Amino acid sequence: MASPDLLFNLRNLFYLGAYQAAINNSDLVISEIDSSAATSLQAVKLLALYLSGDKEGPISSLKEWLSDSAIASNPVLRLIAGIIFMHEQDYTEALKHTHSGGTLDLHALNVQIFIKMHRSDYAEKQLKIMQQIDEDHTLTQLANAWLDIAVGGSKIREAYLIFQDFAEKYPMTGTVLNGKAVCCMHMGSFDEAETLLLEALNKDAKDPETLANLIVCNLHLGKPSSRYLSQLKLSHPDHVLVKRAASAEDTFERALQAIA
């Protein structure tokens, strides 16, 4: 008889975008997984520690484990390494451990990384591999929607329909709401996008993508966005939108001083 998949619930939380629920379970994960556990579970514990805010320790341990040839090829460890290094915006290091794929999780992560690197051509190659493995899998459909948004144009409507299908099949999550909202903004439907994003905000008031998308949406609607930017700065000071806003403010201040 096959052994139970101890990571099944965590995987589903991530697939469906219920990241906060996964993080809320991190204390349980940290306390229940000890040093005698399998490498896969130890890796999940590292991710739980990282997501709980203790970044330096998990990254140091992760690098040590990845240098051990006996466990470095473990697919779950590689996946966790990719997730953590992607969060750190070290895409080259992330791909070092994920590029060879081997599982749908790893290929889906590769799609995300390549999109962040603005290499939709490489992301498409990863998606094709996923479609050959299981075209109807939730991860494959998600990756398809991510790529459609990155490509833009007529593909936006296809991405919207994928997220709409998720909304009809599964509990509504921040990922699905944000996905639909981004599609709406691309199609010029900013009022609908705002409604979706406010629903996402009610589910998780600190979600960085919801806050970032609300800032963009409100700017297009001509509404104040300072509240959402302040919240993003407070909860996620390293977010790319916060850094861009700070850079713009610095440039503006220098310009003022130059003409003063």
Structure tokens at 211: 């806050």
Q: Within 13 Å of residue 120, how many CA atoms lie on the same side as its CB?
A: 10
Q: Supply angle C-alpha 201, 203, 215, rounded to 5.
A: 15
Establish if 37 belongs to a structural domain. no
Within-domain flag for 90: no
At 1 the pLDDT is: 45
C-alpha 29, offset from chain centre = 20
Sign of CA dihedral 112, 117, 119, 122: negative
Q: Is residue 140 assigned to a domain?
A: no
In a domain? residue 221: yes
Domain count within the chain: 1
**Within a domain: 245:** yes
The pTM of the full predicted model, rounded to 2 decimals, is 0.82
Residue 222 sits in a domain whose CATH number is 1.25.40.10
Task: Look at residue 196 and tell me if it is in a domain.
Answer: yes
**Separation CA 53–CA 42 (nearest Å):** 17
Residue 37 contacts by C-beta under 8 Å, 6 or more apart in sequence? 45
Q: Write the DSSP assignment of 152-191 as a string of letters.
A: -TTHHHHHHHHHHHHHHHS---HHHHHHHHHHHHHTT-HH
Residue 185: what residue type? M
What was the pLDDT predicted at 2? 47
204, part of any domain: yes
Tokens of 139: 């991860």
- Note the pLDDT of residue 47: 86
CA atoms within 13 A on the CB side of 91: 11
Terminal CA-to-CA distance of the chain, rounded, Å? Answer: 77
Give CA separation, 11 vs 75, 114, 175, 181, 215, in Å.
14, 21, 14, 24, 30
pLDDT the model gives residue 206? 87
Structural domain boundaries, residue 211: 161-259
Residue spans of the chain under pLDDT 50: 1-2
Q: What tens digit of pLDDT does each residue of 119-173 get?
A: 999 999 999 999 999 998 889 999 999 999 999 999 999 999 999 998 888 878 8
Residue 178 lies in a domain: yes
* Six token digits for residue 118: 């603005």
Quote the CA–CA distance of 96 and 100 in Å, as a whole number: 8
Maximum CA extent, the chain: 77
CB 39 within 8 A of CB 76: yes
